[in-house]
Amino acid sequence: MSTQEDEAADPLRPDAYKGTQATMTARLIFRQFGFLFLAATFLLFATFFINFYDGLLDFGDIWRNSPTLQWGPFAIHSWLVIVYGYVFLVGILFALGPSERSFRLFFFLMMAALLAIHYDHSILDWFLRAFLTADIRPQNAVSVFKILFSCLFLVVIIVMHYNVLSDDFARRFLRRGVPTDEVARVRPGVFKVLVPTILSAAALATALGLLGELGQLIFRDTTFLPGKLQLFVLAGLMVPVAFLIRGILRDLAGQRKNRTQPRPNR
Amino acid sequence: MITRSAHTYFKAFSLLFLVGLAFGNLNYVLLGIFLLAFVLLGLNVAEPRGALVTRRFSRMTPRAGDVVDVTLEVEIKKGTGFVEVYDELPELFELVDGSNVHLLWKGLGRAAKATYVYRVRCPRRGGYDLPATQLTLINPLRLRKARVVDAGQPQTLIVRHKAAGVRRMREVRGVAHSTRTDIDLARIGARSTDFDEIRDYRMGDPIKHINWKATARRTTSESALPLVNEYEPEGKKAVYLFLDAATYMQAGSTLDNTFESVIKATTGVVKFFLDKGYKIGGQFFNAHKDVTVYPDVGERQYYRIARELSQLEAGEPQEGALERAVEHNKARLIQMRPVTIVITRPEIDFEDTIRGLKALRRYTSTIRRLHPIFLINPLVYSVVAGNDQYAQWTTTLLRAENRSRYQVLTRMGVHVVDWDPKREDIGVRLLRQVRTR
């Protein structure tokens, strides 16, 4: 990620760097705004599938009962202000100061939002039973749409991360003297790998969510199979995952052996 | 080694997964699995590997100031990701065109090939070690730390200096300040077929050289020794160089200083004598690593000396270095009785220089004949003084002061040639030794 050092003028290609830096910053902020809008929209959709008051209130009730914020002739629904305001506030802070630290802060604040909207009866029930000796059963704790939109929300967050990372990459390579036409291939290169990876991961999570949902629909009357089915599916999935981890560990072990001396100062 | 980004994603997965398990919330678990799947898939994207790098130079022995084209051919056979191709250049090299850092994208499927050309100027003589091309293999999602590997072979580029043009004045009849070698013949070496004289037979003379007719005519004389034909040896006289490579010879910038000029002048002198068929040898003393060049003739000797000179680095001056250098070459000096050329700054340690020159005189001259010794004195004052008028006056005074000292050297039979490397060419300076009639 960018550091103060990155901002220093490129000794090899000062003109090219300065021109590109201005263009890059403008593009970065423009893209970040677009991504933030998408992220907030997905978060809002996921929020509509809220089951915090499941059984007590329906979506319409939540929407109707929430207050609107009046500002002159404009009236904005509080949910919109809360969701978009939160995402844009944190996201713009990240866009203005893109660094590893600000990314972590942004990422975990987004995760906090995700945790908040997925807060449901299972937790509430546990809390009530543990501390207030009350018992409220959720009707349907798992919502496949909620997971789908949450996955899309996460996808956008990750894409935002790699958007900043690509610019940082490009800036670093420019500073080292890599020709501009080669640096221009950084973003397409990153996204060529990112898009299939992230889609595969999202498909995996959504498929698991669907399986859970279907399991509950099909085996509603039984108490044995749904849980077992999910366990089987998870166990089946863990086999390739275990192979992946094994491969990574082997690779890492090999890297340690072949580790070279640190690169000298350029 | 995974990166901080990968750590962040893994922490987020752990948080969601553990909270999901603790509270029995499948949403959290599934979102955690999404992040885990992303990290694992991203980490499993194999970084580029199977790299082949070929580096070619348009000239392997360029001259100082020449521009050399460097061609890099890179091929990445497997994997996916970015490869930063970096050729580390010696500090003194100047990048004229292109870039020595490139970025290659290796996508899935076919091997990625690229050819990069950049141009560098080699401003100073020397032997430059160019390490193997560095390849930085970068995970496309930057979830794994980049790995630096060396590809190709390290190479050495020997940058030669341009020899100063030392010429012989033709068609100008004049009186030289000194007696320099021109038609002196070698003292030792293979004999030619040119007859020189008849002399008494000495042990070891070949039988075929006995002049039987002359011996027969001699039978009436008292000596019973046969007479032999003496032939002239092949080649001309030997020239011996003593080059002072101490740090005080350097005045000016790193790239252009008096020492560099002295090197060029020495090469010019070497070429001049070798072209005329002289045998040249020498000793470079006070250098970072002293060098002895055995006397020889021909083009190969020129390249040998030029290579040694191109790699010569100035060293710390040591007391009695010239005398030690002379002692080191004593055997050859006595055997060849060469013309000697000493390039040093005598005013740095005058007594030391005198001792060295005396030793030289001892081994090169005989009672009958004083063999010439030339001392080329590079003047660094003008470089040090720059454009400051007062400094220039001071340097003029210093030169005047030293001139009296040079008279001592002249009395010893040493011919001192003052040479200002910044103002005149060594060839021109040597030509000025001739006075036209």
Say if residues B414 and B358 touch (Cβ distance below 8 Å).
Answer: no
Say if residues B102 and B136 touch (Cβ distance below 8 Å).
Answer: no
Dig out the tokens for B231 from the structure.
């032939």
Coil vs helix vs strand at B21: helix
Distance CA(A238)–CA(A231), nearest Å, equals 10
3-state per-residue secondary structure call for A186-225: HHHHHHHHHHHHHHHHHHHHHHHHHHHHHHHHHCCCCCCH
Distance CA(B175)–CA(B179), nearest Å, equals 9
Say if residues A113 and B12 touch (Cβ distance below 8 Å).
Answer: no
Distance CA(B373)–CA(B426), nearest Å, equals 17
Distance CA(B64)–CA(B384), nearest Å, equals 23
Strands B155-159 and B126-130: antiparallel
- Please give, rounded to a whole number of angstroms, the shortest distance from the CA of A152 to a CA of chain B: 10
- Cα of first residue to Cα of last residue in chain A, in angstroms, is 19
Dig out the tokens for B164 from the structure.
């100063």
Chain B residues within an 8 Å CB radius of A126: 23-24
Closest CA to B415 of B426, B425, B407: B407
Element (H, E) at B176: strand B174-176
Chain A from 216 to 245: CB within 8 A of any B CB: 241, 244-245
- Best mutation target, B21, B27, B43, B82, to test chain A (most A CBs within 10 A): B27
ipTM metric: 0.71
pLDDT in tens, chain A (266 residues): 443 334 343 333 334 444 556 666 677 777 788 888 998 998 888 877 654 444 445 556 666 666 777 777 777 787 788 888 888 888 888 877 777 788 888 888 988 888 877 766 555 566 666 676 655 554 545 566 777 788 888 888 888 888 888 888 888 888 888 888 888 888 888 888 898 888 888 887 777 766 666 656 555 544 444 555 555 666 676 677 677 666 666 655 555 444 444 444 44
Our measurement of the distance from residue B30's CA atom to the centroid of its chain's CA atoms, rounded to an integer in Å, reads: 68
Say if residues A99 and A2 touch (Cβ distance below 8 Å).
Answer: yes
Distance CA(B266)–CA(B293), nearest Å, equals 13
Query: A128 touching B, CB under 8 A?
Result: no
Q: Which of A151, A182, A202 sits opposite B103 (nearest CB)?
A: A182
Q: How many CA atoms lie within 13 A of B80 on its CB side?
A: 19
Quick check: B44 and A143 CB within 8 A? no
| Sign of the dihedral through C-alpha A139, A142, A143, A144 | negative
Using one digit for the tens of pLDDT, what is the confidence trace for B121-134? 888 888 888 899 98
- Cα of first residue to Cα of last residue in chain B, in angstroms, is 83
Using one digit for the tens of pLDDT, what is the confidence trace for B211-241? 888 888 876 667 778 888 887 766 667 888 9
- Please give, rounded to a whole number of angstroms, the shortest distance from the CA of A71 to a CA of chain B: 37
What does the radius of gyration of chain B's CA atoms come to, in whole angstroms? 34
Closest CA to B221 of B200, B195, B196: B200
